[in-house]
Structure 1
Amino acid sequence: MKTMLKLALLLAAAFLASCGGKKEAGSTTDITPEVLKFYEETKNEKGEPFFVTKTATDLPADLKWEDGSDQEEFGSPDAKKGGTYRFFLTDYPRTLRHIGPDANNEIRDYVQDSVLIKMLGRHPNTLEMIPGCAKEWARGADKKTFYFKLDPDAKFSDGEPVRADNFFFSFFYYRYPHNQATWYHDFFSKKYEQIIKYDDLTLAVVVASAKPDAIEYAGALQPTAIAFHKEMSPDYLQTYNWRFIPTTGAYEVREGGLKKGQSVTFTRIQDWWAKDKKFYRQQYNPDRVVLEVIRDPDKAIEVFKKGDLDAYRLNLPERWHKSVPDDDPMVAKGYLHKATFYNQVPRPTYGFWLNTAKPLLGNQDVREGLQHSCNWDVVIQQIFYGDYERLNLAEEGFGEFTDTSIKARTFDPVKAAESFAKAGFTQRGKDGIFADAKGQRLSFTITNSYKVLESALVVIKEEARKAGVEFNVETPENTAGWKKFNEKQHDIAFTAFNVSVEMYPRFWEMWHSVNAYTQEGKLAVDNNNFTSFNDKEMDAMIDTYDKSEDIAEMKELAWKMQRRIHDAAVFIPGFKSPWYRTGHWRWMKFPAHFDARTARDHEENWLFWIDEDERKATQEAMKSGKTFEKSVKVYDQWRQK
């Protein structure tokens, strides 16, 4: 009892210090008592205290500290700070929050994924760990305890210093029930066993198991500002919906940065704590990032070609070959540059996610028939100019953890008809669509996430009729589409998850039944199980896989689960590409090597910079007729043969 009382008093003092010891003027709530109670009462699965305080003398004496100093910088020493980078969004965000409902939106990368500095970073070429908020780290003898020395310079954009208490608070924040972030609730409950504070700048994180990549779970922890969140309450979602959360990253949304329905502006923090740090001084170079809302991609590319956007993603072959061809006058005269960068990453999961909660799609034979009704090979040749390849499964690109013997089912109307017949769909109407004895037709709605890919779905729709299937296509605005997916209201979701660069694939998020149905039998919402996949044997394999520390066992389970997903026919693989492509104006500069090995687009590592002098010179050249050397380049140093 005395130990727990001492812990509570220590944490209370630290928490109150972080909050300034008093409420903000006008504040009506104070989360402090609830946080301290959470710290005191939370236990791990072993029944031990989750939050622990010790002293520096308790640190193991034989730790081998690392600092990443052997890793090379990956940007360019020529990078210049300043200027405005102008890009676009296809929809205005519904929140600035990065967790909870509607947080999976287009600005998430700008407030979280690509810019936030976590406990550690990962070198984008070597995949080794590099300093983040922690300047040094060490692995304990048990292989699952990781020790960190925080950088005393680290601080949030509101000025609050990053200390061990901010990592304590992150566990409260991500497990707070009123943020409705079920994925985070589960992740932060199961992936970590304990967090230990030795002093303000020294802490340890104990992960749940000594998996091969355990350091990534510990290093991926991010600190959370305490004072800013002191007013958390059951109304959290509304109270914090449009409040920019203090960040450890280089950019913030300031007052006036939100123009509802029109644009979002991020401003670089001039005294950003990491601006002179080795692995960050060549990143995040523009002073301002202005994201204009342009809902029509065709309009966006015209805005780009007029010079009002600095870059445009040209991954879609039609954009590369037709919208901005190599012989386009703006390209030929050297004003617009084009680049193809070969990368090494797990591939985004473009394809059809079949919602088995819908009666027809709950039928195995119907799903197998649909697999043979989608002619992606024709789409790749006709719409994608043969530039893409067929995706075979949702877990491609994980080396030995991917079962390359699994191949996507081919378009085959005969096999489709055989499967449909097993489900009772044997009668073809005058329109050629199969129906059963009750007159129910094989008709489904594809909810499309990408307006730019509508032409591909036109081909899919036409080809499917040959197999006796009617596909109706809807393309809602981006946030509305994701809301429909999250609420499991779709028939077929055409979308892709950007898969993290990791040693092995994840299965829990998309395939565990806890993300399909609640204990009451209702659909579980706000998660990534878009197929409502509900398979108890799969659950058991996922649970074993997530706890396993043995690479051989994990590989065997990964292959078994991939085969089970394939056999269930709940995901129809679409396409993949081994590169990313971008178009940019000549005033937008890149390193000589262009980007890093694991970059998925030009914003992944923020290595580019805007040269405002070159912008002015280019604009003057366009008026006078002066031209520059044409630049259409391929960067294939990371191409896999």
Structure 2
Amino acid sequence: MKNKIKWIGTFLMLVNSSLGWAATLPSDLKWETNDTDPLFASPKALPGGSLTMFIDSFPLTFRTVGHDSNGSFRSFILDNQLRLISFHPNTGNPIPSLATHWAIAPDSQTVYFKLDPRAKWSDGKPVSADDYTFGYEMMRSKHIKGPWFNNYYTTEVVAVEKIDDHTIVVKAGSRKAKLDLLNTTELWPQPKHYYKLTPNWVKQYNWAVVPTTGPYVISEVKKGKSVTFSKQKDWWAQQDRYNQHRFNLDTVKVQVIRDHNIAFRHFLKGELDTFEMILPNWWHEKAVTQEYQKGYVQKVMAMTDTKQGGQGVHLNVANPKLANLNVRLGIQHALNIDKMIATVLRGDYDRATTFSSGFGPFTDIKLAKRAYDINKAREYFAKGGYNKPGPDGILQNDKGDRLTLTLTYTSQEHSKRLTLLKEEAKKAGLDLELNLVDGATGFKVMLEKKHEAAWLGWGGGGLYPQYWEAFHSANANKVQTNNLFNVADKELDELIDAYGNEFDMTKRAAFSHQIQQRIYDLAIFVPGVQLNYVRASSWRYVMLPEVPATKNTPDQLYWPMDGYPHSSGGLLWIDPKVKAQTQQAKEAGEALTPINLLDQTYAPK
């Protein structure tokens, strides 16, 4: 290119018909770090010990990208892989991780990172700039069969270049405010010395135990039964400020138990150390056994102020019946979410009104709730062609087709709440057919868009609401994407594109409101529930800090780094003296003081 574009010592050039960087380091960068935010782990924490927990299905792969990788087990692997930086779970400020320092260029698109020269992969190889340039190449490769990653590393991250072995530059696809830019560019490395990009990549690495930079590695696999993680000896980042007193366990065994009732019996026997208690029936009705009464196991609940994704009914508009807006509007008023919350969920949850909540000015709290209304539902169904009651009370169209909706879900624990919705929907002339599928398999069905409607919830996903993955037409009618609605709406696309490119946070929040309004108008999502707490049971010897959860934790007993983008996991530890005392008391039938803790440090104001 004859006319090279100069920008603070960094040159853009055309190489082999693709845009590449020849990167040099500007002399006037203002490097930042953060070693002053408060610690959030307990100095009382003790290293050592083992913990056993359960999941309800074995993963379909150990890969974190490509076919079948987007399941719940993915977080155990991905959250043991450090990013360039993280965000403090209470202050929200950026904190060091694989990078010790960062500097934002004047264009508000480009970030420079100084890599920690001590950083090592779990196989002992050093982490270098080459692992980031290779990672960029890998995420853009068709071999990984990851369309979301291919797109993200083409549009959101447009360049990753090496300056030297421990300095890289990352460029975003558009100007962004500071935290948003850091959130976009704080990438994972990929071990260049381990991977080979070949057409057989997905199959070749399906069960590969890939080197990690985080505290735990997979040490034992029993296919279909369990996966065990072990703490790295002399983990290179253990003494870093925000890792101190964290990641104390020597081993974590993740055991497959498909039935929660059977798992609970294992827990009460001491064969499991922890048990999640988010669901009201477990917390209120089942956590009352003598193990609780005698203080051997404890109940701990902590209020949080977390950002939340969508939890509710995802309607697949590729289905001819659901392509009709009036049918979708009828469904909105035929599902009695409020009664489900008040009865089955014992009022512990709040009704959601939009797809993303808890994002401050980015969440439109003025969206009207579509209440359960039999008459309104029937009016919309009639406009959609279903106006004749059948002999069983279910509406039919002129062809005699019954108004049915198959709702796919993946947890037996949700059957009671969905059964209530089924009973209430029948009063509005809708037959809700419940389709319970194994966790990993069920999510695969959803990603392959084989569902009519899907009942599931997403995590908060980041500092700001994420819309492109779930609602942009680029992800419609494609397998292995998160657009479970199969929605392809020009107006929605334009808003999402504008939202992604907007630099001004006030204007971006306004676009977020417009996006939520458009989703509301399309009636493709039936908002379900949201909650601002975490709660769990554990044996008495599983210890937590005085404030048992951070402001942004999704799980107070989580043992890896914790979910993106905040680092707040690994706070628990095992106290061997308390464990011995508990076991002795249990064997002797002696009671200890019951523990039923409620912490409101981070209760939403």
TM beyond 0.5: yes
Partner of 1:292: 255
Does 1:631 pair with 2:585? no
Structure 2: gaps of 5 or more residues: 5-13, 563-568
Distance 1:404 1:217 in 2: 25
The whole-number CA distance in structure 1 between the counterparts of 2:138 and 2:186 is 15
One-letter amino acid of the structure 2 residue matched with residue 146 of structure 1: V
Residues of 1 paired with 2:48 and 2:141: CA distance?
39
Distance in 1 between the 2:22 and 2:136 partners?
13
Whether the 8 Å contact between 1:446 and 1:491 is mirrored in structure 2 is: yes
Matched, 1:442 2:403: yes
Q: Which residue of 2 aligns with 1:102?
A: 68
Is the partner of 1:462 in helix, strand or coil? helix
User: Residue type of the partner of 1:161?
Assistant: P
Pairing 1:27-426 to 2, within 5 Å after superposition: 41=16, 43=18, 48-49=19-20, 51-54=21-24, 59-112=25-78, 114-212=79-177, 213-230=179-196, 232-254=197-219, 257-325=220-288, 328-426=289-387
**Distance of 1:587 and 1:342 partners within structure 2:** 22
Which residue pairs with 1:480 in the alignment? 441
User: Helix, strand or coil for the counterpart of 2:103?
Assistant: strand
Q: Secondary structure at the match of 1:452?
A: helix
SS at match of 2:322: helix
Q: Secondary structure at the match of 1:464?
A: helix
Residues 10-34 of structure 1: per-residue CA shift (max 9 Å, x gap):
xxxxxxxxxxxxxxxxxxxxxxxxx
**C-alpha distance in 2, partners of 1:437/1:258?**
56
Counterpart residue type for residue 465 of structure 2: P
- How far apart, CA to CA, are the structure 2 residues paired with 1:183 and 1:75? 35
* Counterpart-to-counterpart distance in 2, 1:381 and 1:204: 52
Inter-CA distance 103–592: structure 2 relative to 1 (3 Å threshold): same
Give the partner amino acid of 1:422. Answer: K
Looking at structure 2, the residues matched to 505 and 607 of structure 1 have their Cα atoms a distance apart, in angstroms, of 27
Whether the aligned pair in 2 keeps the contact of 1:94 and 1:479 (CA below 8 Å) is: yes
Aligned-residue sequence identity (percent) comes to 35
CA distance in 1 between counterparts of 2:323 and 2:65 reads 30
- Report matched runs for 1:572-583 at 5 Å: 572-583=526-537
Number of the residue aligned with 2:502:
548
**Corresponding residue for 2:524?**
570
Q: Tell me, yes or no, if the aligned pair for 2:332 and 2:377 is still in contact at 8 Å.
A: yes
The residue identity in structure 2 corresponding to 1:438 is K
Q: State the distance in 1 between where 2:587 and 2:15 align.
A: 68
User: 1:41 deviation in Å?
Assistant: 4.2
Q: Distance in 2 between matches of 1:209 and 1:289?
A: 41
1:543, distance to aligned residue in structure 2 (A):
1.1
Looking at structure 1, the residues matched to 33 and 350 of structure 2 have their Cα atoms a distance apart, in angstroms, of 40
Preserved CA contact (<8 Å) 1:52 1:194: no
Instruction: Report the Cα distance in structure 2 between the residues aligned to 1:353 and 1:458, rounded to whole angstroms.
Output: 17
Deviations 1:51-70 (A, max 9, x none): 4343xxxx333322222111
Which residue does 1:506 correspond to in 2?
A: 466
For each residue in 1:130-166, what CA deviation from the matched residue of structure 2 results, as whole angstroms up to 9, or x when unmatched? 1111111122222222121111110111111111111
The range that moved more, 133-142 or 610-619, is 610-619
Decide whether the 8 Å contact of 2:499 with 2:511 is kept in 1: yes
Q: What corresponds to 1:460 in structure 2? A: 421
- 8 Å Cα contact 1:342/1:639 also seen in 2: yes
Amino acid paired to 1:52: A
Question: Amino acid of the residue matched to residue 67 of structure 1?
Answer: T
| Map of 1:24 onto structure 2 | none
User: How far apart in 1 are the matches of 2:421 and 2:579?
Assistant: 42
Is this contact kept in 1: 2:408–2:455, CA < 8 A?
A: yes
What amino acid is aligned across from residue 132 of structure 1 in structure 2? S
1:161-187 superposed Cα distances (whole Å, 9 cap, x missing partner) = 111111111111111101111111111
Separation (CA, whole Å) in 1 of partners of 2:218 and 2:22: 35
Q: Residue type matched to 2:602 in 1?
A: W
Q: 8 Å contact 2:309–2:461 — kept in the other structure?
A: no
Question: How far is the alpha carbon of 1:40 from its aligned partner?
Answer: 5.9
CA contact (8 A) 2:307 2:552 kept: no
- Structure 2 CA distance, aligned partners of 1:508 and 1:432? 40
Q: Which amino acid aligns with 2:230?
A: T
Secondary structure at the aligned position of 1:362 is classed as coil
AA at the equivalent of 2:76: Y
Q: How far did residue 370 of structure 1 move?
A: 0.5
Instruction: Tell me what 1:616 maps to.
Output: 580
Q: Could you say which residue in structure 1 is the equivalent of 2:553?
A: 599
What is the rounded CA distance, in whole Å, between the counterparts of 1:52 and 1:320 in structure 2? Answer: 58
Task: Assess if the C-alpha contact under 8 Å between 1:501 and 1:598 holds in 2.
Answer: no
**Secondary structure, aligned partner of 2:590:** coil
Equivalences for 1:519-538 in 2 at 5 Å? 523-538=477-492
Give the Cα separation in 2 of the matches to 1:578 and 1:179. Answer: 36
Which amino acid in 2 is paired with 1:594?
Answer: P
Question: Which residue of structure 2 aligns with residue 26 of structure 1?
Answer: none
Secondary structure of 1:253 counterpart: strand
| Residues 67-126 of structure 1 deviation map (CA, whole Å, 9 limit, x = unaligned) | 2111121111111111111111100111110111111223211100x3221100111110
SS in 2 for 1:135: strand
Shift in CA distance, 295/188, structure 1 to aligned 2, threshold 3 Å: same
Residue 111 to residue 41, structure 1, CA distance change in 2 (3 Å) = farther
Farther-moved stretch of structure 1 (598-607 vs 455-464): 598-607
Which range is displaced more, 477-486 or 615-624?
615-624
Counterpart position of 1:23? none
Q: For residues 42 and 124 of structure 1, do their structure 2 counterparts lie closer, same or farther at Cα, with a shift above 3 Å needed?
A: farther
CA RMSD across the alignment: 1.7
- Is this contact kept in 2: 1:52–1:195, CA < 8 A? no
For residue 480 of structure 2, give the secondary structure of its aligned residue in structure 1: coil
Alpha-carbon offset, residue 281 of structure 1: 2.5
| Aligned partner letter, 2:317 | T
CA displacement at 1:220 relative to structure 2: 2.3
The answer to whether the 8 A contact 1:207-1:214 is kept is no
Please say which of residues 297-306 and 374-383 is displaced more in the overlay: 297-306
Q: How much does 1:557 deviate?
A: 1.3
* 1:9 match: none
Bigger drift between 371-380 and 602-611 goes to 602-611
Task: From the superposition, tell whether residues 409 and 218 of structure 1 become closer, same or farther in structure 2 (CA, over 3 Å).
Answer: closer
Alignment size in residue pairs:
584
Query: What is the alpha-carbon distance in structure 1 between the residues aligned to residue 577 and residue 267 of structure 2?
Result: 19
Larger mean CA deviation between 569-578 and 209-218 belongs to 209-218
Q: What is the TM-score of this pair, normalised by structure 1? A: 0.89
Amino acid of the structure 1 residue aligned with 2:279: L
Q: What SS does the corresponding residue of 2:237 show, helix, strand or coil?
A: coil
Residue 626 of structure 1, CA deviation: 2.7
TM-score for both structures, normalised by structure 2: 0.94
Q: Is the 8 A contact 2:136 2:160 kept in 1?
A: no
